[in-house]
Amino acid sequence: MNIETQSCVIIGKQQVSVAPQQVEWNGQGTLVRITRGGICGSDLHYYQEGKVGSFEVKMPMILGHEVIGYVVESDNPQLKPDQKVAVNPSKPCGTCKYCQRDQHNQCTSMRFFGSAMYVPHVDGGFTQFKVVDSSQCVPFPQDADETVMVFAEPLAVCIHATHQAGDLRGKHVFISGVGPIGCLIAAAAKARGAASIVCSDISERSLSMAKQMGATDVIHAAEGDFTPYLADKGYFDVAFEASGHPSSLQRCLDVVCAKGTLVQVGMGGAIPDFPIMALIAKEIHLVGSFRFTHEFNTAVEWLASGIVNPLPLFSGEYALQDVDAALQFAGDKTRAAKVQLTF
């Protein structure tokens, strides 16, 4: 069976179009009618620069990895037609050494939606119909708010980041950079029992979003007084760097206590003068965080049950035909946080 689908295709820098394509359904996997998707920082990078880091768009690729929809047909009898599902955008190989260790986000041949990491690129989810592995479909209740459920993927990233820091119960947490990811880390840290969550940013708008998402206090990154957090080699047990700026990493190293943990979530370039002495002298545990594993299912559960309400981050929605306008709006950080597309 062949189905026509309209897709948001990126061709190169600032070149995105809506194109008709054919989807072939041969009875394997699950055919999903995608209904809604969220625009992520990586989609914006592909649009604004034609690349994310060193992954350059070299051929037309369907954008998007934060999508939900409903089942049309499936090879899994558990997935009945019309069942609503959040689509996990990661498809690990299942056999490499990391997959065998249950570290699927480190899979050496990961197929991740809307990624130009490999050639040919892996198409994303900004399309009306898509065939996925049935294991990528995570069902959620029919009456759940779809605008909320689209946050499953970024929330999964943030729950994973908090897992990188271990048990957060009773801990004092600092988050530097509160765009959507920093804010969702605040929400996840709150859900995991942090005693206090202090968020820092240069944007007042972002700070007020962070307050709505679970921050117990906020401080302006440039104008705030950090002195109280510097005493005794630093106040916080855990710091999350979620902006990717070198100055933000320095701030995290300053305010995290000796023997504390610093989780690097923000993606940035090289840091020419990495403050390595602070890391050594305070014996800080520096740990990266990349994507997620089983946290995707946790995120779906938390959103469906209301443990996390992401709606303060929702800035508006566009029909797929207006993907260009949606990407431009989403790229304007003075006005938009999370923008969604409907298919």
Q: State which residue, 96 or 286, has the beta carbon closest to Zn ion.
A: 96
Closest C-alpha to 168, from 256, 261, 285: 261
Q: Tell the smallest beta-carbon distance from residue 90 to Zn ion (Å).
A: 10
By the rule CB under 5 A, 96 interacts with Zn ion:
yes
- Position of tokens 């394509």? 21
The one segment of 25-33, 69-77, 87-95, 291-299 that binds Zn ion by CB under 5 A: 87-95
By the rule CB under 5 A, 99 interacts with Zn ion:
yes
Q: Tell the smallest beta-carbon distance from residue 268 to Zn ion (Å).
A: 17
Q: Which two tokens stand for residue 314?
A: 């929702």
Q: State which residue, 152 or 239, has the beta carbon closest to Zn ion.
A: 152
Q: Tell the smallest beta-carbon distance from residue 288 to Zn ion (Å).
A: 17
Rounded Cα gap, residues 262 and 256, in angstroms: 7
Among positions 59, 93, 195, 325, the unique one binding Zn ion when judged by CB under 5 A: 93
Q: Binding pattern to Zn ion, positions 258-297, x when CB under 5 A?
A: ----------------------------------------
By the rule CB under 5 A, 337 interacts with Zn ion:
no
How many other C-beta atoms are found inside a 10 Å radius of the C-beta of residue 265? Answer: 25
The one segment of 11-19, 126-134, 148-156, 227-235 that binds Zn ion by CB under 5 A: 148-156
Rounded Cα gap, residues 179 and 201, in angstroms: 9
Rounded Cα gap, residues 100 and 94, in angstroms: 7
Among positions 107, 132, 168, 221, the unique one binding Zn ion when judged by CB under 5 A: 107
Across 66-105, b (16+ Cβ under 10 Å) vs e yields bbbbbbbebeeeebeeebbbbbbbbbbeeebebbeeeebb
SS (HEC) of 7-51 = EEEEEECCEEEEEEEEEECCCCCEEEEEEEEECCHHHHHHHHHCE
Q: Tell the smallest beta-carbon distance from residue 92 to Zn ion (Å).
A: 5
Rounded Cα gap, residues 46 and 10, in angstroms: 8
By the rule CB under 5 A, 40 interacts with Zn ion:
yes
By the rule CB under 5 A, 325 interacts with Zn ion:
no
